[in-house]
Amino acid sequence: MNLKCNPTFTVGQGVVAIIVCFLSLIANSDMYGQYLTTIAGNGDNRTMTCTGDGGPATDAELKSPVGVAVDSSGNVYIADYWNRRIRKVDVHGIITTFAGCDSVYPGDTLPPEKTSLAGTLSVAVDDTGSVLFSDYNKLRKVDRYGRISIVAGGGSGGDGGPASVAGCSRIYSVTTDHSGNIFIGTTNAVRKIDKDGIITTVAGSILYGSDLVEGGPATDARLFEVCGLAVDYAGSIYFSDRQNNRLCKVTTSGVITTIAGTGEAGFTENGNMAFGNKIDHPYGLARADNGTLYFSDGSNHRVRCILPNGMLRTIAGTGFSAGGGPSEGIAYDIAIPFPEGLALDKDGSLYIADDGLSYRVRKVTDPVISLRALETNGTKCAMECKPNPCSGNIRIRVLAQTHGKVRIILKNVLGDVVVERSIEANVENELKLDLPAGLYFLVASVDDKQIQKKVVVN
């Protein structure tokens, strides 16, 4: 870690200098230690069939998991492209087909699992619980009553008319905002479908390309494969311009800027600013409420984020394209070749469509929590506690490459041990604290090494 600040300051500058030092410390610390698990896919698509419905999702075969979404109840939806299906993993981990079938004759029927689909690249869930997904150049919706319909791409119409009869190029991504608007990313544009069903173009044009004037009108830009979309509460739109190796933002006034990438494929180390530095074929996007923007840095074989201060960080992936690795472990130790769609659940966990060579959907627990990984004698470990501050109960998870029991102790500020337990590694353990309010120190022992974390009891 490199902490850069000037220790010489006057009394009047003290608070500012301390804040600058603190922000620099955060910006240069490692956001490592998040734990990655597999929630769907057995890693094998050699039979090129759709198997596993009705059983554990981790035993199922996913042919090409490209998109992922999570509803408010915790159900996960997977755009399984080559199986021409949307798969659903319920909260018990059981997988079923939500939409799509083996028929080669496209059409809209009820129920949705009897509807033939041409190719599902993306999926999203809106605030009403409706599931939206791309079907090549159409956008379809299954509402909460199970009725399927075409939302966009059903004809040859253009901007200013009904989306259901508009012509669309291939649809790579879809997202929604809290006002009921839908956004789709196509080969050459970002288009908006308002709550009345009217379609307009908000970025890009009828031609694909690479031209973009920073600070200019978004509709003058040339885009090439908008594979990821996100919208913030202010209404600004974020998207990945995959073939142009950049992430862009469009304000509510229609102004476009680049927030990451230079247009040239490359890799930028952690701790550098995203703006003005290289990325490589970005794909999925997901934006957290705190402003952190997650993206699949596709050909860099990593899932990364842009922190609210503009710094780049790696969340998962080794940077190597080899697939077939372990199904769980420390996120930055597991290869994720060519990651694609991303989604966040209501608890802040990140879901990754790991399509490249792994054919799985992954979950990274609490990616917005900064955990410092310790690396001693080959052992990588970290610890998370929530809520913190707490009152009464606290949930503790020690993330380590070892399995089995881990010894933890809780000490007060005088160094007295007030709690001592053995807990299971890599799972969440609930600890009841009947202690006076104050500051405590939680210490976990892993392979004769220790991790310490401050805990505040209200």
Q: Looking at residue 427, what is its pLDDT?
A: 76
Judge whether residue 260 has pLDDT over 50: yes
Structure confidence by residue, pLDDT tens digits, 287-312: 998 899 999 999 999 999 998 889 89
Q: What is the arrangement of strands in the sheet containing 199-204, beginning at the earlier edge strand?
A: 171-176, 182-186, 189-193, 199-204
Q: Looking at residue 18, what is its pLDDT?
A: 34
Q: Looking at residue 25, what is its pLDDT?
A: 35
Q: Looking at residue 22, what is its pLDDT?
A: 35
Judge whether residue 248 has pLDDT over 90: yes
Q: Looking at residue 31, what is its pLDDT?
A: 39
**Burial status of residue 4 (CB atoms within 10 A of its CB: 0-12, 13-18, 19 or more):** exposed
Q: Looking at residue 8, what is its pLDDT?
A: 34
The pLDDT confidence band at residue 381, using thresholds 50, 70 and 90, is: low
Q: Looking at residue 39, what is its pLDDT?
A: 96
What does the alpha-carbon distance between residue 67 and residue 305 come to, in Å, rounded to a whole number?
A: 18
123: its two tokens: 């999926």
What is the rounded average pLDDT of the residues 366-388?
A: 54
Structure confidence by residue, pLDDT tens digits, 390-444: 888 888 888 776 667 888 999 887 888 999 998 888 777 888 888 998 888 898 8
Q: What does the angle CA 255 – CA 260 – CA 262 come to, to the nearest 5 degrees?
A: 95
What is the rounded average pLDDT of the residues 265-293?
A: 94
Q: Looking at residue 369, what is its pLDDT?
A: 43
Q: Looking at residue 119, what is its pLDDT?
A: 86
User: Which of residues 31 and 163 earns the better pLDDT score?
Assistant: 163
User: Percent of the chain having pLDDT more than 70?
Assistant: 85
Q: Looking at residue 347, what is its pLDDT?
A: 85
User: Which of residues 266 and 431 earns the better pLDDT score?
Assistant: 266
User: Percent of the chain having pLDDT more than 90?
Assistant: 59
Three state DSSP letters for 256-277 = EEEEEECCCCCCCCCCCECECC
Three state DSSP letters for the chain = CCCCCCCCCCHHHHHHHHHHHHHHHHHHCCCCCCEEEEEECCCCCCCCCCECCCCEHHHCECCCEEEEEECCCCCEEEEECCCCEEEEECCCCEEEEEECCCCCCCCCCCCHHHCCCCCCCCEEECCCCCEEEEECCEEEEECCCCCEEEEECCCCECCCCEHHHECCCCEEEEEECCCCCEEEEECCEEEEECCCCEEEEEEECCCCCCCCCCCEEHHHCCCCCEEEEEECCCCCEEEEEHHHCEEEEECCCCEEEEEEECCCCCCCCCCCECECCCCCCEEEEEECCCCCEEEEEHHHCEEEEECCCCEEEEEECCCCCCCCCCCCEEHHHCCCCCCCCEEECCCCCEEEEECCCCCEEEEECCCCCCCCCEEECCEEEEEEEEEEEEECEEEEEEEECCCCEEEEEEEECCCCEEEEEEEECCCCEEEECCCCCEEEEEEEEECCEEEEEEEEEC
What is the rounded average pLDDT of the residues 33-58?
A: 85
Torsion angle defined by CA atoms of residues 287, 234, 69 and 48, in that order, rounded to the nearest 10 degrees: -80
The pLDDT confidence band at residue 194, using thresholds 50, 70 and 90, is: very high
First to last CA, the chain: 32
Q: Are 162 and 149 in contact (CB under 8 A)?
A: no
What is the rounded average pLDDT of the residues 139-154?
A: 94
Q: Looking at residue 356, what is its pLDDT?
A: 80
Q: What does the angle CA 40 – CA 34 – CA 445 come to, to the nearest 5 degrees?
A: 120
Judge whether residue 142 has pLDDT over 70: yes
Structure confidence by residue, pLDDT tens digits, 70-79: 999 999 999 9
What is the rounded average pLDDT of the residues 322-333?
A: 76
Mean pLDDT of the residues in the chain:
85
